């Protein structure tokens, strides 16, 4: 079976790509960083600065399992009980959306996503199922429509994808037609 057609969301500058290990296709954001295992989460968070509008976590995501909670596989792992490390992002008034280009984090990891949204004051875009590791054009992020996408508002509450798309101009992005 062929992969589903790619749909790319255009992001207005400035965007920041945070790339984890075991990813073949790194982001093509305004600024891009690679973080090996063990990199301090605080060091990752510190890469963002005033004027950044979007951050893309481009890494593997894992659902909750008996031995470990849902998490993003980057740095020391980002999970619900350490997401407060992202609090400095709340002070970046231009930062509006966190894109989780990571598999399986929007299902059992929904509490993590909600806490990330509330901690940062950002919308969090995620998906419940797989996110394909594919190359993207500069200044874009893949919209994983095939992976049961979900959007969490800064309040920590889910909002519909259509309502989120309507905020494109306000939040500095454009979904494909």
| Confidence band, pLDDT 50/70/90 cuts, at residue 109 | very high
| Confidence band, pLDDT 50/70/90 cuts, at residue 51 | very high
- In a domain, residue 1? The reply is no
- In a domain, residue 17? The reply is yes
**111 conformational bin, left if phi > 0, alpha if psi -120 to 50, beta if neither:** alpha
- With 90 as the cut, is the pLDDT of residue 74 above it? yes
What is the predicted pLDDT for the residue at 20? Answer: 97
Task: Report the predicted TM-score, pTM, of the whole model to 2 decimal places.
Answer: 0.97
What average pLDDT does the structure give for the chain?
96
- With 90 as the cut, is the pLDDT of residue 171 above it? yes
What is the predicted pLDDT for the residue at 177? Answer: 78
Any bridge partners for residue 174, and if so which? 10
- In a domain, residue 177? The reply is no
Q: What is the mean pLDDT of residues 120-128?
A: 97
- In a domain, residue 29? The reply is yes
Domain total of the chain: 1
In whole angstroms, give the CA distance from residue 6 to residue 26. Answer: 16
What is the predicted pLDDT for the residue at 17? Answer: 98
What is the predicted pLDDT for the residue at 95? Answer: 98
The range of the structural domain enclosing residue 144 comes to 8-172
Question: CA of 164: how far to CAs of 78, 124, 170, 172, 175, in Å?
Answer: 24, 10, 10, 12, 10
- In a domain, residue 2? The reply is no
Q: What is the mean pLDDT of residues 141-170?
A: 97
- With 80 as the cut, is the pLDDT of residue 115 above it? yes
Within 10 angstroms of residue 50's Cβ, the number of other Cβ atoms is 10
- In a domain, residue 3? The reply is no
DSSP string spanning the chain? -PPPPP-EEEEPSPEEEEE-TT-SS---SSEEEE--TT--HHHHHTT--TT--EEEEESEEE--BTTB-SEEESTT-EEGGGGGGGGGGGG-TT--EEEEE-TT-SSTTHHHHHHHHHHHT-EEEEESS--------TTEEE--GGG-EEEE-TTS-EE-HHHHHTTHHHHTEE---
């Amino acid at each position: 079976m062929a992969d589903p057609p790619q749909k790319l969301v255009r992001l207005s500058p400035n965007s920041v790509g945070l790339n984890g290990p075991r990813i073949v296709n790194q982001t093509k954001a305004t600024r891009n960083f690679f973080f090996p295992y063990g990199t301090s989460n605080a060091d990752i968070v510190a890469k963002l600065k005033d004027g950044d509008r979007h951050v893309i976590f481009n890494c593997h995501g894992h659902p909750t399992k008996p031995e470990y909670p849902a998490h993003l596989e980057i740095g020391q792992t980002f999970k619900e009980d350490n997401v407060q490390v992202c609090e400095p992002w709340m002070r970046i008034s231009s930062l509006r959306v966190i894109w989780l280009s990571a598999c399986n984090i929007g299902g059992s990891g929904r509490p993590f996503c909600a806490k990330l949204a509330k901690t940062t004051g950002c919308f969090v875009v995620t998906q419940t199922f797989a996110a394909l590791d594919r190359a993207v054009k500069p200044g874009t992020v893949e919209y994983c429509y095939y992976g049961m996408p979900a959007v969490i508002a800064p309040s920590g509450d889910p909002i519909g994808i259509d309502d989120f798309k309507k905020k494109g101009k306000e939040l500095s992005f454009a979904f494909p037609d």
